[in-house]
Amino acid sequence: MMNPSFSDLAEVSVGQHFYWQLGDYQVHGQVLLTSWFVLGIISVLSFLGNSNLKSIPDGFQNFTELVTEFIRDLARTQIGEEEYLKWVPFLGTLFLFILVSNWSGALLPWHVIELPNGELAAPTNDINTTVALALLTSISYFYAGIRKKGLGYFKRYVEPAAFLLPINVLEDFTKPLSLSFRLFGNILADELVVGVLVALVPLVIPIPIMLLGVFTSAIQALVFSTLAGAYIGEALEDHH
């Protein structure tokens, strides 16, 4: 009986996938394709909004400034006045990538594009993507706490009492799990519901469900970014 390798244990796979072989490794090609598409949309909008800045904004500059102010307010609320500006780019990137990814799944007919195996869907429809985003969030709040407090950051595990150590350690494991599975589960469920309704009643009923999916997709991006900011703010908080 062969023992599973580390790469076998590390892979998280749900459903069928279109694999690319890169050396000794297989990657989910359909996730990379849709992720590059999402990053392309964000890049184009960013270029249009910032290529010709004006003192009185108009057009796409209005849009980009509105998004920036929204992310700044979110970061200020969750992290605090002293540190929030450093984390605006990170939280903004999380929010925009998740939002555009979710909307691509809610609005674009990915399933009509045929692949040799598997099918195209929103990047956040794949659990590997959501786990990666959650792990980045965990690394970020550990980095924030250690950068500010040094090794004294780990004193929080025995506060307010030493017997809480196991619970506090377990909390750091449950945070990325809850972030990743919440986002993955909601996006997957939304796309499955729309897919079933389109197959059964292809003309009228799916439209309000798709509109509801657009709304819930935006909420999921906001929740993920807000929790990421809250975790970073908690790591930076001074405990007395």
Q: What is the structure's pLDDT at 6?
A: 41
| Nearest CA among 65, 111, 71, 54 for reference residue 226 | 71
Q: What is the structure's pLDDT at 204?
A: 62
| Nearest CA among 27, 22, 23, 33 for reference residue 11 | 27
225-238 pLDDT, tens digit each = 999 999 998 888 87
Helix-strand-coil split of the chain, %, nearest 5: 75, 5, 20
Q: What Cα–Cα distance (Å) separates residue 233 from each residue in 64, 79, 115, 121, 138?
A: 25, 4, 43, 33, 12
Q: What is the structure's pLDDT at 5?
A: 47
Q: What is the pTM of this model?
A: 0.81
Low-confidence ranges of the chain (pLDDT < 70): 1-18, 110-112, 115, 117-118, 191, 193-206, 239-240
Q: Is residue 9 part of a domain?
A: no
Q: What is the structure's pLDDT at 50?
A: 80
Q: Is residue 71 part of a domain?
A: yes
Q: Are strands 25-28 and 19-22 parallel, antiparallel or unpaired?
A: antiparallel
Q: Is residue 1 part of a domain?
A: no
Residue 196: give the domain boundaries. Answer: 18-236
Q: Is residue 175 part of a domain?
A: yes
Q: How many CB atoms lie within 10 A of CB 34?
A: 25
Q: What is the structure's pLDDT at 156?
A: 79
Q: Is residue 83 part of a domain?
A: yes
Q: What is the structure's pLDDT at 1?
A: 45
Q: Is residue 13 part of a domain?
A: no
Q: Is residue 5 part of a domain?
A: no
Give the number of domains in the chain: 1
Q: Is residue 191 part of a domain?
A: yes
